[in-house]
Amino acid sequence: MSGASGRIRIIGGHLRNSRLDVPALPGLRPTAERVRETLFNWLAPVIAGARCLDLCAGTGALGIEALSRGAARTQFVEREPRAAQALRDNLARLKVQGGDVATADAAAYLHGAAQTYDVVFLDPPFVLDLWAALARQLEEGGWLAPAAWIYVESPRSAVPALPATWRPHREGQAGEVRYALYRRAP
């Protein structure tokens, strides 16, 4: 892909070691490989057959990793048109089935007709501070399965305010990033 600033690797599943082209865009911050590896070790018992939502998808690495490991489908939502197109190009090049990309603002997307998801990846651009607002929309809008898993990536120094129904399951830190997996209380 022309204009790519780099490549990141899929860690596991049938796409293991495949590379995703990453466009050179300001603020695009792919989730680190070791963080993705840890996250998907945590999700291993539930990812097969899961319906996933990769909100603020960026490179789509989280959602593609989920598909590689057996998720039934992933809806990617990315507001930046060039990032969304790069994601579509990566899905097509890798012949990934079950992925759909919506070029839309996450908050606007969540105002649409809700679909229920088993796993949600919530990793908005840090500078926009969208965690609380998007979490509220996910919780109140009917987007989450009764016992959904929600992954939240945020700055290490700022733990976002999340719905009381989201129970912490596991968390970690990598550099200046805090990553946490929550389970929605049924």
Residue 152 C-beta-side C-alpha neighbours within 13 Å:
29
Rounded Cα distance between 66 and 49, Å, is: 10
Q: Average pLDDT of 113-125?
A: 95
Asked if 52 and 30 touch (Cβ cutoff 8 Å), the reply is: no
9-58: pLDDT as tens digits: 999 999 999 999 898 888 788 888 999 999 999 999 999 999 999 999 99
pLDDT at 131: 95
CATH fit for domain 4-184, picks 1.10.1040.10, 2.60.40.10, 3.40.718.10, 3.40.50.150: 3.40.50.150
Q: Which residue has the tokens 């607002």?
A: 133
Asked if 181 and 167 touch (Cβ cutoff 8 Å), the reply is: no
Tell me if the pTM is above 0.75: yes
Asked if 66 and 91 touch (Cβ cutoff 8 Å), the reply is: no
Residue 145, Ramachandran bin (φ over 0: left; ψ between -120 and 50: alpha; else beta): beta
59-104: pLDDT as tens digits: 999 999 999 999 999 999 999 999 999 999 999 999 999 999 999 9
Q: What is the CA radius of gyration of the chain?
A: 15
Rounded to 5 degrees, what are φ and ψ at 90? -65, -45
Give the DSSP letter of residue 161.
P
Neighbours of 183 (CB within 10 A): 16
Give the confidence band of 5 by pLDDT, cuts at 50, 70, 90: low
Domain boundaries, the chain: 4-184
Q: Residue 2: helix, strand or coil by DSSP? A: coil
